[in-house]
Chains A and B, each alone.
Chain A
Amino acid sequence: DQQVKQNSPSLSVQEGRISILNCDYTNSMFDYFLWYKKYPAEGPTFLISISSIKDKNEDGRFTVFLNKSAKHLSLHIVPSQPGDSAVYFCAASVVGTYKYIFGTGTRLKVLA
């Protein structure tokens, strides 16, 4: 039972344009969401998070949007840079349960 789904295995975007990565979840108890970036041979690196009391959180070029009614979150990267090429994982948790449930990841390729 995949509680967190990333339905796009890969995405290619031109440098300077917007990258939009999507994530859907099924468990309405989730109240904390995160995005991680992973380069080959490295561990996941935290990018940005959002609590369920918000619908948007920004950090520089990265913005996460949360639509609780649709159980959907997205990560926007503007402008996209070649160094953003990596696998992006969304994760969700219920505050107080300590474990993160991860999606299967989306491989982003930013073309120069």
Chain B
Amino acid sequence: DAGVTQSPTHLIKTRGQQVTLRCSPKSGHDTVSWYQQALGQGPQFIFQYYEEEERQRGNFPDRFSGHQFPNYSSELNVNALLLGDSALYLCASSSMGQSQPQHFGDGTRLSIL
């Protein structure tokens, strides 16, 4: 039973570029959440997708956008990258309607030069 998978593992970009991160949820899960974890901090909620729609959003600018596909997989897009966007980006999946915890992938380490 595959857990949450994320790609790529590592990514290096320069300021002003755009990036797309990908996530496949755990089998049986239909909801995907994205978090940003800066060094020395806890994960911060970016947004959640369910039924291909953004269901809730954290305190992140519009440069951060996402998408969920019919197979429940998801993408996180970040435009006009800033140095401060350097972080570990975590994807978490869960089943809507059940009080089950979110399961996390191993993340994508994004470095901005």
Q: Which A-chain residue is minimally distant from B109 (CB atoms)?
A: A41
Contact of A49 among B101, B103, B104 (CB under 8 A): B101
Report whether A101 and B45 are in contact in the complex, using a CB–CB cutoff of 8 Å. Answer: yes
CA distance A13 to B94 in the complex (A): 33
A-B contact count (CB 8 A): 53
Report whether B56 and A97 are in contact in the complex, using a CB–CB cutoff of 8 Å. Answer: yes
- Tell me if A60 is interfacial: C-beta within 8 Å of chain B: no
Interface size for chain B: under 10, 10 to 19, 20 to 34, or 35 or more residues?
20 to 34
Report whether A98 and B55 are in contact in the complex, using a CB–CB cutoff of 8 Å. Answer: yes
- Tell me if B28 is interfacial: C-beta within 8 Å of chain A: no
Q: How far is the CB of B17 from chain A (nearest CB, A)?
A: 25
Among B95-113, those with CB < 8 Å from A are: 99, 101-107
Q: Which A-chain residue is minimally distant from B107 (CB atoms)?
A: A43
Contact of B99 among A32, A46, A100, A101 (CB under 8 A): A32
Report whether A43 and B42 are in contact in the complex, using a CB–CB cutoff of 8 Å. Answer: no
Report whether B106 and A105 are in contact in the complex, using a CB–CB cutoff of 8 Å. Answer: no
- Tell me if B4 is interfacial: C-beta within 8 Å of chain A: yes
Report whether A99 and B101 are in contact in the complex, using a CB–CB cutoff of 8 Å. Answer: no
